[in-house]
Structure 1
Amino acid sequence: MPRCRFLPFVCAALMAVVSPLASAQSAEREWQAYEEALARGERQANVWQYGWAGVYATTLAVNAYQASEASDRDDRYDARVGVVKSALALGGTLMDRQPHPAAYRELRQSDGNLESARRLMQAVVAEERRRRSLESRLGSLAVNLASGLLIGVGDGRERDGAINFATGMLVSELQLQTQPRQATAAINRFQPARVSFGDIHLEGEYALLVTPHQLGVALRY
């Protein structure tokens, strides 16, 4: 039984030997997780931007045609409203770029400092959250509300105005929800962990890393 008193010291000695190697491997895995997350985010960001730009460009062309060629007067009026909405949405999609491509380039061109990579990921996470916040919905709310009022009140067609507003908000929400969120997923993979060896307590975080070629655990403390 007296030998148990030396267990904490033995564990401390083992940790002193193993810790540098484990720390290096953990840092490498964590860096790899961030790099892969931003690479996937870059691909999805490009698909998202060009995909939605294509949708709005198509609706802009259709509405522009309908605004002058539709046989029904109400259809021509709705199409003129749609031209403005589609043009605003197209311009916003092309100008408001996702943060992942720039962050991925910055990470690849960096000097390999893990703390800088963590700060970069936190900045991308903050931007991902901002793009899904209530504030980010105010612009689409204003545009869709204005178009609904123009049709419902200005043109005296309440039902059509309500449908226009609801449809516009649904499309706007779909656009928001399909934005990339790989940085948030990568950060959330790290969960708090605590290990005790007698009187020695180690606190840190761990994450399960699954790739097509390997399965591992990343630790940081």
Structure 2
Amino acid sequence: MSLPASIRRLAAACLAGLLLPLPALAQGPDAEWQAYEAALNDGARQAGYWQAGWTTIYAGSLALNTWQASEASSRDDRYDARVGVVKSALALGGMFLDRQPHPAASRELAAGEPGDIDGARALLEAVAAEEQRRRSWEARLGSLAVNTAAGLLIAVGDGRERDGAINFATGMLVSELQLQTQPRQATAAINRFR
């Protein structure tokens, strides 16, 4: 007894669907290892650019604010620049003290056992968790405190509410931009293999 053509096609499609992934599964750990290695290497490269870029921005801001603190023509600009010196110095210090995890993780993976997929996955998951922590609400609390204090110093301490609000808002905007431009390669790689 012969089966209808539609059932034969359906059975063939199901069988092909079951058999086609087998070569992919055989290459899975290698592909996964290479993806993890590439993610950490790309993350380390982006972390270097990110570090250099934001360090340059904050160092430039510190230099400009230091100059304006004594050379600006108006008293308000000199006061704002003194507040800016403190904000820029804190941000620059943060760049040196709180490094991105990707370069160290990339070196650790390279020094480890090649093909140790479980170790690579654990390392990448730790870096992904750090990436998420660096974007959490808790990560924003430091800049919130600094920018609130700076805004209040200008608004209340110097009697310029509008300028204090602008200082607070621009400081928070820059801080958010810094957070959002951090590397995310580990999170993307982990999500790819889940």
Assess if the C-alpha contact under 8 Å between 2:32 and 2:193 holds in 1: no
- Structure 1 segments (4+ residues) deviating >4 Å: 21-24
Aligned to 1:163: 166
Matched, 1:106 2:108: yes
The residue number in structure 1 matching 2:52 is: 50
Match of 1:71, SS state, is coil
Aligned CA distance change for structure 1 residues 117 and 71 (closer, same or farther; 3 Å): same
2:6 matched residue in structure 1: none
One-letter code aligned to 1:41: G
Matched AA of 1:111: E
Shift, 1:73, TM fit: 0.4
More strand by share: 1
Whole-angstrom distance in 1 between the partners of 2:126 and 2:94: 21
Matched residues, number: 178
Amino acid at match of 2:173: L
Paired with 1:23 and 1:103, the residues of 2 have a C-alpha distance of 26
Q: Secondary structure at the match of 1:101?
A: helix
Distance 2:65 2:181 in 1: 24
Give the equivalent residue in structure 1 for 2:71: 69
Q: Distance in 2 between matches of 1:24 and 1:116?
A: 19
Which amino acid in the other structure matches residue 76 of structure 2?
D
| Counterpart among 25, 33, 37 of residue 31 in structure 1 | 33
Cα deviation for residue 137 of structure 1 reads 0.2
After TM superposition, give the deviation of residue 60 of structure 1 in Å: 0.3
How far did 1:92 drift?
Answer: 0.1
Equivalent residue runs for 1:174-193 within 5 Å:
174-191=177-194
**The one of 88, 91, 94 aligned to 2:93:** 91
| d(CA) in 2 for partners of 1:163, 1:114 | 49
Using the TM superposition, name which of 59-68 and 106-115 deviates more: 106-115
How far residue 24 of structure 1 moved from its aligned partner, in angstroms, is: 4.5
The one-character-per-residue Cα deviations of 1:94-128 (angstroms, maximum 9, x if unpaired) are: 21100000100111111121111110011001000
2:147 and 2:172 in contact (8 A); partners too: yes
Which of the pair is proportionally richer in helix?
2
What stretches of structure 2 of length at least 5 have no aligned partner? 2-14
State the alpha-carbon separation in 1 of the partners of residues 28 and 43 from structure 2: 22
Alignment pair present for 1:128 and 2:131? yes
Equivalent of residue 143 in structure 2, options 137, 140, 143 = 140
Which deviations, in whole Å up to 9, do the C-alpha atoms of 1:52-89 show, x marking residues without a partner? 00000001000000000111000000000000000000
Give the Cα–Cα distance (whole angstroms) in 1 for the partners of residues 78 and 25 of structure 2.
66
Query: Secondary structure, in 3 states, of the residue corresponding to 1:111?
Result: coil
Unpaired segments ≥5 residues, structure 1: 2-10, 192-221
Deviation (angstroms), 1:190: 2.2
